Structure 1
Amino acid sequence: MTFDTNRYESSVGDVLRAGLEAAADELYVVNPDLDTLEQLLDVLDTDPGPTVKLLAAESVLKAMSRDFKLASVAADLRDADRLVLHIYEGTDNTLLVDETSAVAVIAAGGRVAGLVADDEAFVEGAHEAYADAFEGGESFGLRTPGITAVRETLADALGSEVADDFDGVLASMETARGDDDDLDEVTVSLLVAAKNEELLYDISKWGEDVGIASKATFSRTKSELEEAGLLDTEKVPIDVGRPRLRLKLADDRLQDASPAELASVAGSMLARN
């Protein structure tokens, strides 16, 4: 890494980008908090660069995994061999480490510094220590599917218009954790399916196949949204077996909402229940 002088930037993301641009084949990122991890994912998702070997607290990784927007990007990067997640319970500053440099990332006074260690023995020792910690650390199992697979399979299963609406709703959301008035990925999928009057069977089969959630979770969430007045269904007869259910938006406010507005309108309605 040729990150050999201190850097002073306006954001953590700018320091991370500089470190990634300077690294050769791989870079250890040590002990990020959730905000730093979010900015790291954003940089990795938009810029080519080396493989990042991440050493992070289990609590941070679990918080990331609960937000579908973050976790699905992390899964994409994992699938592309750009990101490897290991659990690390240390008290270090956030560090960027490779074979030739060790950089501490420190925020203060509205700016962020990347402070470079210039002692060769220290850098070699740091690299060896974190390489050992990574090799001996427990891998973090991320169960969320990658966002690329989600988009491609949704378009294949239900059409590009449904996939575009899913993207539009997700892009309008800051997080997708499913807490308070925030929506999770199952709720988003059902609302988008209802906007396009798709069958519950089709959206839930897609969701189970791609790894978002089980059919039972889709069915349970559908019932909750019905009770809250967001969704309605109508029976569609089939040749053999029980009729299937077509999803519909049950409220004029949802029916009139664009994909970019759908999440905020639905979140407001759910918060009142």
Structure 2
Amino acid sequence: MQPPLIERNVADVCRTVLDDATEDVLAVGPSPTVVDGLVAMLADRENGPSVRLLATESVLKASVSEFTDASVIADLVADESLSLRTSAERLDGPLLVTDERVVSLVTTDERTAGLATDDAAFVDAAREEYTDRWADAESFRLRTPPLSRVQESLEREFDEELAADFERMRIALAEADGHLDEVDISLLAAARNEALLYDISTWGEGVGIASRATFSRKKTRLEEGGLIETEKVPIDVGRPRLRLLLGDDHLRGIDADEVVSVAAELLAAARQ
């Protein structure tokens, strides 16, 4: 047995383990907390071995339930730093299996320990066992687009200011209480910059955030709550397009990262 790895959090233990690995690492049976720590470490890392993560479907669904978490994971999958599969079988763990050691993760409120062994025969047997389980497992399908694609396409289709507003709202959204989602902040960022509903909904459908029908439905909800307004913009052929505008004075003149909390308060008040 090796001395235990005791760090501040899961991400630090994962970083220590992967820094010593030379081949792909198997992460087996993680809890949502372990997935979060592993993803945080991978997102902060520029190179190194990739991770094959084998978990139950319920754990992975919990880990991608929020837009920011899911889009960061999608980025890692897109650049092949991370791959995801699910197993219906009982999984031991959470374990990190490298080419040279097996590490069992134990988490508390304050610290995380990695209990490791480098016994060659045991490591080889564990790696063979979980490689076989990986081969038999089902791929996990992500429905959220990579965050980098969202950011780059917003700037390309609109401008730097709207993209920056969306990004600041996205960061605030990750700390909010669930009244808003990624479609809502797309519409609010568009309204803050007086973009057309057609353009933002077409962008959102194309990049994979949501359908144009969902954008239309969310627009109606925000409009009924008084958060946004629309004005008709004539076009050469066809029905006029709708320009999105902020509809409440409380949303005007505040920083973009404040919009999420103020909008949530306004929606809550409108429901009362």
Report the TM-score range of the alignment, normalised by the length of the smaller protein: over 0.9
Counterpart residue number, 1:199 = 196
5 Å-filtered alignment, 1:150-169, equals 150-169=150-169
Kept in 1: contact 2:21–2:100 (CA 8 A): no
Counterpart residue number, 1:270 = 267
TM-score for the superposition, normalised by structure 1: 0.93
Distance 2:118 2:178 in 1: 48
Kept in 1: contact 2:23–2:98 (CA 8 A): no
Distance 1:184 1:256 in 2: 22
Distance 1:238 1:186 in 2: 25
Distance 1:216 1:109, change over 3 A: closer
Counterpart residue number, 2:181 = 184
Distance 2:141 2:205 in 1: 18
Q: CA deviation at 1:151?
A: 0.6
The partner residue of 1:27 within 25, 28, 50 is 25
Partner of 2:257, secondary structure, is helix
Instruction: Report the AA paired with residue 12 of structure 2.
Output: D
TM-score for the superposition, normalised by structure 2: 0.94
Number of aligned pairs? 268
Deviates more, 1:46-55 or 1:89-98: 89-98
* Runs of 5+ consecutive residues of structure 2 not aligned to the other structure: none
* Runs of 5+ consecutive residues of structure 1 not aligned to the other structure: none
Distance 1:108 1:34 in 2: 14
Partner of 1:143, secondary structure, is coil
5 Å-filtered alignment, 1:53-72, equals 53-72=52-71
5 Å-filtered alignment, 1:36-115, equals 36-48=34-46, 49-89=48-88, 90-108=90-108, 110-115=110-115
Query: In angstroms, what is the RMSD of aligned CA positions?
Result: 1.7
Distance 1:108 1:235 in 2: 56
1:26-60 alpha-carbon deviations (Å, 9 max, x no partner) = 11111222222122111111112211100111011
Distance 1:39 1:93 in 2: 15
Partner of 1:172, secondary structure, is helix
1:171-226 alpha-carbon deviations (Å, 9 max, x no partner) = 223357xxx64421111100100000100000001001111111111001100111
Kept in 2: contact 1:10–1:111 (CA 8 A): yes
Kept in 1: contact 2:145–2:209 (CA 8 A): yes
Kept in 2: contact 1:170–1:188 (CA 8 A): yes
1:225-251 alpha-carbon deviations (Å, 9 max, x no partner) = 111111111111111100000001111
Counterpart residue number, 1:16 = 14
1:52-102 alpha-carbon deviations (Å, 9 max, x no partner) = 100111011112222110111111111101110000343422110022210
Partner of 1:76, secondary structure, is helix
Q: Identical aligned pairs, as a percentage?
A: 47
Distance 2:109 2:189 in 1: 43
1:98-143 alpha-carbon deviations (Å, 9 max, x no partner) = 2221000102362211100243222111111110111110000002
Kept in 2: contact 1:194–1:248 (CA 8 A): yes
- Structure 1 ranges of 4+ moved more than 6 A: none
Counterpart residue number, 1:208 = 205
Distance 2:266 2:20 in 1: 47
Partner of 1:248, secondary structure, is strand
Distance 2:170 2:56 in 1: 27
